Amino acid sequence: MTTTHIVHYNGATAKSQSVIASLARDSVENGEVITIIDIGRTTKIKQGFPANRWAKLLGHTVFENALQNILEPLGVAIVPLPSATKRAALKLEHLAALEQALESELLTYFRLDHIPRSAEARNLSGRLRSAMMETYAALTELWSHTPPDRVLIPNGRTSRQKAARLVAETMGLNVFLYENGRASPDSYYLGRTQPHDRVASQQEILDGFPLPQGRALETVADTWLTHRMAGSAGTNQFSDQWAPASALSQKNAKRNPIAVFFASSFDEFLAFGPMWTIDEWSHQFEAFDLMMSILEDRGVELVLRLHPNLGTKSRQYFLREVRDILALQDRHPSLKIHWHNEPTNSYDLVRNADYVIVERSTIGLEASLMGKPVWVTQAAQWDMVADVRQVLRPTDISEEVLELWDASPLGAQKFVAYWMAQEKPLHYNWQTWASWYSEKAPLRMKVAQLTVDNPWRHKKRLLSLEWAKWRNSRFTPRGRKSENK
């Protein structure tokens, strides 16, 4: 009988408890003996729900025993990570990977494209490094004495996740990675590759990962795209802020060609490591600027769509982006901008576009599925498989490169089918754990998060980010050309 250890801590994935409970249930039904190794004691920034007593004061309930009530009948034990009795000898080849993972975690936390030179950043870096090394040592000791047949690790990107993965792989354990679902609604991912490893995941497809063929492949891809476009009921978390998509394109024989440029929030991808920083642009709008110069000389209409996620960034990041965007419009006065907080449906923009240019946004994959020619200016999750053109440096851009072509959706269909093949349905939803949906929490429950036992600097940061989101959401480009103003 297969023995499996699932490494877990609250907040390891976006839907942490639903994922871990579903994963444990499916593994038990597969005949495995499951132990959950809870590494929560090394957590430095705690996530999850406030205590039920605080929730009740605000008219809500946290079902604090729900996870235990699900796991006990399954025979699944939750074992706290034991303390290491001695410091593990760190392999030199692991040092660089762990430091990269630590940098990734800090970039994600600060929501910037750099790690601030501040006392807060230095303090948090030291605490995370200590937790990472403790996790490395404790798991080395645990698995040296009682090695499981299989280890399931969340994501594998951030510092403690990376430590767990390196220890397991060094010991020759059978490693799988799990994460919140990316392709299907209410699902989780379980696979061999780290979810944000763009090279390894695409190589699996190129090496012959088993996929549906012909019409069956098209159906899988169409289903995924339908879920993405389904507004509040779909898998694109931003589309419920948009106007309903139009069924028909607004193309007509007399209009000029249209090029739509889709920006991304690039700081989050810097956190994913060197494989995501393969371009040579000095800033993210340099490529757009060069391409716009060529296209506007052809009489092509220029449209820029800002990613809705821009509104969730720190005020410093947001204002810098706005400055760069307005400078781009100064250089191309005909440019029409759809700002992050406008209800424009991005799928309508794609339908009416002749050229689709993205940095790395998933809208590029969706446009490729729709048969549109797509240019990609940075590393993308699907750039080795989909029929797209990469332009990663100024010398890549030319009149010839910007010629239209008859794009094939086949590569994009394969990538989507690969995503969907590795996902399993969640057996539990947010109502299992609390009386409110934490991903769209009411204001009073956001305030309740301040009661979670965390450093005061973190609580201050939460307040600062909420204030920044509110201010960013109310942004208006005064005196500027905006498609919806």
Residue 71 belongs to some domain of the structure: yes
And the tokens for 318? 């947001």
What pLDDT, on the 0 to 100 scale, is given for residue 275?
Answer: 86
Range of the domain at 294: 214-244+253-420
Judgement on whether residues 445 and 353 belong to the same structural domain of the protein: no
> In whole angstroms, how far apart are CA 260 and each of 151, 323, 363, 368, 404?
44, 20, 11, 13, 14
Judgement on whether residues 459 and 413 belong to the same structural domain of the protein: no
The pLDDT tens digits for 448-478 are: 999 999 999 999 999 998 999 999 999 998 6
Edge-to-edge strands, sheet with 3-8? 77-80, 33-38, 3-8, 150-154, 174-180, 187-191, 423-425
What pLDDT, on the 0 to 100 scale, is given for residue 100?
Answer: 87
Question: Of the candidates 188, 176, 180, which has an alpha carbon nearest to the alpha carbon of residue 152?
Answer: 176
Is the predicted pLDDT of residue 14 greater than 90, yes or no?
Answer: no
The pLDDT tens digits for 362-389 are: 999 999 999 999 999 999 999 999 999 9
The pLDDT tens digits for 23-55 are: 999 999 999 999 999 999 999 999 889 999 999
- How confident is residue 485, by pLDDT bands cut at 50, 70 and 90? very low
**Of the candidate ranges 102-106, 265-269, 396-400, the one whose mean pLDDT is the lowest:** 265-269
Judgement on whether residues 265 and 352 belong to the same structural domain of the protein: yes
CA distance 481 to 338: 9
What pLDDT, on the 0 to 100 scale, is given for residue 183?
Answer: 86
SS3 content of the chain, % helix, strand, coil (to 5): 45, 15, 40
Cβ-Cβ contacts under 8 Å for 59 (sequence gap 6 or more):
444
Residue 208 belongs to some domain of the structure: no
And the tokens for 23? 């994963």
What pLDDT, on the 0 to 100 scale, is given for residue 398?
Answer: 96
Give the domain CATH number at 311. Answer: 3.40.50
Identify the top-confidence range among 5-14, 111-120, 215-224, 270-279: 215-224
The pLDDT tens digits for 128-180 are: 999 999 999 999 999 999 999 999 999 888 899 999 999 999 999 999 999 99
Mean pLDDT, all residues of the chain: 91
Residue 194 belongs to some domain of the structure: no
Cβ-Cβ contacts under 8 Å for 127 (sequence gap 6 or more):
44
Q: What is the DSSP letter of 50?
A: P
Q: Could you tell me where the DSSP H helices lie in 282-409?
A: 286-297, 315-331, 346-351, 363-369
Is the predicted pLDDT of residue 330 greater than 70, yes or no?
Answer: yes
The pLDDT tens digits for 198-254 are: 999 999 999 999 999 999 999 999 999 998 888 665 677 777 778 887 755 555 557
Judgement on whether residues 447 and 361 belong to the same structural domain of the protein: no
What pLDDT, on the 0 to 100 scale, is given for residue 13?
Answer: 66
CA distance 32 to 8: 17
Higher pLDDT, 267 or 390: 390
Residue 97 belongs to some domain of the structure: yes
Judgement on whether residues 341 and 402 belong to the same structural domain of the protein: yes
Chain centroid to CA 246: 27
Judgement on whether residues 15 and 157 belong to the same structural domain of the protein: yes
Count of beta carbons in the 10 Å neighbourhood of residue 93: 9
CA distance 315 to 166: 36
Q: What is the number of structural domains in the chain?
A: 2
Share of the chain above pLDDT 70, in %: 94
Chain centroid to CA 201: 15
Residue 206 belongs to some domain of the structure: no
Judgement on whether residues 465 and 375 belong to the same structural domain of the protein: no
Cβ-Cβ contacts under 8 Å for 327 (sequence gap 6 or more):
none
